[in-house]
Amino acid sequence: MAAPAEIATDVAKRQTTRLVSLWRAYSATGTDHFYTTNRNEYDNAAARLGYSAEGAVCRILSSRIDQTVPLYRLYNGAIIDHFYTTSAPERNNAINNLGYVSEGVTGYIYSQAWHGAVPLYRTYNPTVHDHFYTLSKAERDNAVNALGYSDEGIAGYVFRLG
């Protein structure tokens, strides 16, 4: 039987080989934050779709491993909003009742605190219909206190860059 340290090392190796950058872009005209693990999609949003490139914000898993959940990506073209959730019922409600369409799974994250993972905070501005996600408490607090966003808690747990 493997020792706990060997198990932890194995898990860390599996995570490292599957970690990918999550890129963030912002459209001021659409008031939309957009996140993707696809660098070409990110570059296209910045070059052709009017988004400002904000860089990689964290790393997530490209495929499922134990204790991870999908990070679903949805889009509502009528209000120009990308929405990300780990909840299948919330995803289904957004599709069935709120005008969103599924754009698949962005990647996989932890739904509970995990060794080495940090919270990905989720906020929403109902006036401009924008979901905003960040690792930074200060950035989250500024969005809530000064920009009209509501704190929606922790979307999940991800890995810092580097």
Task: Note the pLDDT tens digit of each residue in 107-143.
Answer: 999 999 998 999 999 999 999 999 999 999 999 999 9
pTM for this entry: 0.88
Closest CA to 112 of 67, 78, 46, 63: 67
Closest CA to 154 of 112, 114, 115, 125: 112
Position 2 in a domain: no
Position 78 in a domain: yes
Q: How many CA atoms lie within 13 A of 10 on its CB side?
A: 8
Position 146 in a domain: yes
Position 123 in a domain: yes
Backbone angles phi, psi at 22, to 5 degrees: -105, 115
State the DSSP code for 92.
Answer: H
For residue range 79-116, list pLDDT tens digits in order.
999 999 999 999 999 999 999 999 999 999 999 999 89
Q: What is the pLDDT of residue 30?
A: 87
Q: Structurally, how many domains does the chain consist of?
A: 1
| CA distance linking residue 125 with residue 64, whole number of Å | 30
Position 111 in a domain: yes
Backbone angles phi, psi at 5, to 5 degrees: -65, -40
For residue range 34-43, list pLDDT tens digits in order.
999 999 999 9
Position 11 in a domain: no
Q: Which region holds residue 133: left if phi is over 0, alpha if psi is between -120 and 50, else beta?
A: beta
pLDDT at 6 over 60: no
Range of the domain at 35: 16-158
Position 63 in a domain: yes
pLDDT at 15 over 90: no
Position 64 in a domain: yes
